[in-house]
Structure 1
């Protein structure tokens, strides 16, 4: 039993409030999963630059001088913005791969949470209120975001086991449910070169989408493929550079509710996560259908 939230802003006037609204939604879901929590925020982009969100178990040791060491190792300028146990590295787009490779030797205990032009991913062990406070999420602006609060059932309570899980550049996934065939899928994906850092079945779902898209499928086709290839009960909410999508399994026993107005589209595991949103009284509220891919995209709306 975990809690998922998502918020896609149509109204640009709401963008400064994204972090605050998403934080409030997530905190409301605390009793669905108080073990760990995380949020992905899609914020401002800088042309030609990529953001690499990293996490350290010992930030006081790893973060001082990290940008300078990476710059020396790669010959490319690196900036770092520290947020508690996480840091957001900003690098030239064409240097991102080299910086990620250099991390393994410059700071081997630092882990990459996500990479992209827009996304920043923050997750830690603890209750949602504590996690969003530590990272200052309420002050973050952006176009859309997703969040998750976890009740661990099949793997340890760790930072790496928290959601969201990255599924590619500017793309990540949160999951409520349980996959019954994740060990078999993990073995298949390992044979194809995938690497796993946890025993979490949600990491398998994220790796499945990454593998499917690497094989030429777009996100919609990859999500549709999950209906055939992933067994169990699940609700996925996926964030991308320009939008977010929702998918429930064919039985859809996990709770889910959506709301849409002229200003936003919102998702919550329960309606109470949406109850504080502006204009919710006049929103179109519905339960997403089983085995149906929903997607909202700023690029298509532009």
Structure 2
């Protein structure tokens, strides 16, 4: 009888110790556990929506009751560039990533039907947000996403909760050597000058954009440029890309307006910039410090498509930045 009692006491003590250890472990690993659980339950949905008569493809994930993060992609890619970041952010946020007309899986109206300009692209994104009934949001601005997003932010400053800038330009200092042939095209709009730019969206040109300036080329999946080629090789898409190159000139005169928006409204801003980028070098990142007071600034040892090599690091910076600014 005494032996049984001792065994019972021992079992109870052992269970108590295990419970304490388990609770302690759960608390210490709570954030990791939450991330793992949510990653297995939060699926990215692949949808389409009619915006101004165009079928716009987009990726969506996360709880719609949470703050929204709008991810705006660059040239020559699509929302595919955010495939991993969407999963990382949707643990705590509602995430939207649309494809622009002529990019990714969205409609590609002909040049006669649709004027491929940054003004029109921003109008489409405005319409997309309206259709999704999104009133407040943070914006991730990368490459082409910067002039599209800054147009919207300057127009509707009260809707913007924060800015996340990744190799997206708003200053003259950011237009360096890469832009010399493009500026020539702006100043002398000829077929010959346009022809010299077509190499940027050739297979070799695409590969260069993804791999130049990275630390380890073997980490960069060739799926990236092969997927981009699916829309870049559609009939008339070459002409669409040249039209966007030419229209980029309209962004430069707006830089002072966007800088004034920064000064006047002081949106919380995170800079996560691939410092080895030849297209938008770090020279374009530093000037944000002049105009923004609430600024987190990080230069990363990688290239133009920083998410491909530094995605986990960028996701962590974003989550910490948003939490610090009470966007949760």
**TM-score, normalised via structure 1 length:** 0.29
Larger Rg: 2
For normalisation by structure 2, the TM-score amounts to 0.28
Hey, which of these two has a bigger chunk of strand by percent?
1
Q: Which has the higher helix share?
A: 2
The structure, 1 or 2, with the larger RCO (C-alpha pairs under 8 Å, 6+ apart) is 1
